[in-house]
């Protein structure tokens, strides 16, 4: 049985003071989610991780939005997995389309990070998704399969089982144009079949999230799809009232 997961990706938003305000406001809603068997989390920027971790309900996952695969050294501007662990962080989002576009993050680079995270008992949330051009050409599945095969290359089934996948069509991110439940369901079902080909039966228990203009008003529809195990939410995760609306929408 796959537990539903709501993860808020705060992207480059909130100062530590603003992040603390959210963390303090989130206590009861996190309890409410957990009582309904829903896992919840937020992914603040690096500079807010400690503040959020120290002030939020301990049942809330606090995730980073990136990491470096090297243990330490001359990597200016980077943050290691060991540093995140020392801050009590055990989840990391990888391969978000914005990082792929603006920071040149490739599926190969994600693969190295995923392996390093798993070696440190951390949970990678690996993002995949196609551009509007690829979608319009009808090549979504080919594109996403390649991202999955490369990003998860060399993992054992036991390792793959620990990875959370997020399918985020780029044309649906921050545009207000969400993918229909049918499109999301079709691609996520395909991703699960791809995972099954690669890793066998563990794919049945792997969680695959949908992301892209998820709101309190449409989250319930996605959750009604058999293969969709939760949501990776940007804009609608920033405000505690809206975040609470997302949780309520996820409660069956």
* 168 is known as an active-site residue: yes
Angle in degrees, CA 51, 91, 157, rounded to 5: 175
Q: Which of 38, 62, 191, 233 binds ligand 13P (CB under 6 A)?
A: 233
Q: Is 234 in the site for ligand 13P (CB under 6 A)?
A: yes
By CB under 6 A, the residues from 87 to 116 that bind ligand 13P are 96
Of the candidates 232, 246, 247, 250, which one interacts with ligand 13P according to CB under 6 A?
A: 232
Residue 52 buriedness (CB in 10 A; 0-12 / 13-18 / 19+): buried
Which one of the spans 77-85, 167-175, 186-194, 196-204 is the region binding ligand 13P (CB under 6 A)? 167-175
* Residue 168 in contact with ligand 13P, rule: CB under 6 A: yes
Cβ closer to ligand 13P: 101 or 158?
101
When computed from its CA atoms, the radius of gyration of the chain, rounded to whole angstroms, is 17
Sign of CA dihedral 52, 80, 85, 120: positive
C-alpha 128: how far from chain center: 10
Which position among 39, 69, 130, 168 bears the catalytic label? 168
- The residue within the footprint of ligand 13P, chosen from 52, 155, 173, 184 (CB under 6 A), is 173
Nearer to ligand 13P, 56 or 128 (CB): 128
Beta bridge partners of 146: none
Locate 49 and state its tokens: 């991780």
The reply to whether 133 belongs to the active site is no
By CB under 6 A, the residues from 192 to 231 that bind ligand 13P are 211-214
**Are residues 154 and 192 in contact, defined by beta-carbon separation less than 8 angstroms?**
no
Instruction: Quote the crossing angle between the two packed helices 16-25 and 46-55, to the nearest 10°.
Output: 30
Catalytic residue annotation: 96, 168
For binding to ligand 13P (CB under 6 A), which residues are involved? 9, 96, 168, 173-174, 211-214, 232-236
């Amino acid at each position: 049985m796959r537990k539903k997961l709501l993860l808020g990706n705060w992207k480059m938003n909130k100062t530590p003071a603003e992040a603390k305000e959210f963390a303090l406001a989130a206590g009861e809603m996190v309890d409410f989610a957990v009582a309904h068997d829903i896992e919840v989390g937020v992914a603040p920027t690096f500079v807010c991780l400690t503040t959020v971790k120290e002030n939020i309900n301990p049942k809330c996952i606090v995730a980073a939005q990136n990491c470096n695969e090297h243990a330490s050294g001359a990597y200016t501007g980077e943050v290691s997995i060991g540093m995140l662990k020392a801050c009590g962080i055990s989840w990391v989002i990888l391969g978000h389309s914005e990082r792929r576009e603006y920071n040149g993050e490739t599926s190969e680079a994600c693969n190295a990070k995923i392996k390093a995270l798993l070696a440190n008992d951390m949970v990678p949330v690996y993002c995949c998704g196609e551009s509007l051009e690829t979608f319009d050409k009808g090549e979504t599945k080919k594109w996403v399969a390649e991202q999955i095969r490369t990003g998860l290359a060399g993992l054992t089934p036991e390792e793959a089982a620990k990875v959370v996948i997020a399918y985020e069509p780029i044309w649906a991110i921050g545009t207000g144009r969400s993918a229909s439940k049918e499109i999301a369901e079709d691609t996520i079902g395909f991703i699960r079949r791809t995972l099954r080909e690669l890793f066998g039966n563990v794919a049945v228990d792997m969680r695959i999230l949908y992301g892209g203009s998820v709101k309190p008003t449409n989250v319930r529809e996605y959750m009604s799809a058999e293969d969709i195990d939760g949501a990776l939410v940007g804009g609608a995760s920033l405000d505690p009232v809206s975040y609470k609306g997302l949780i309520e929408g996820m409660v069956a």
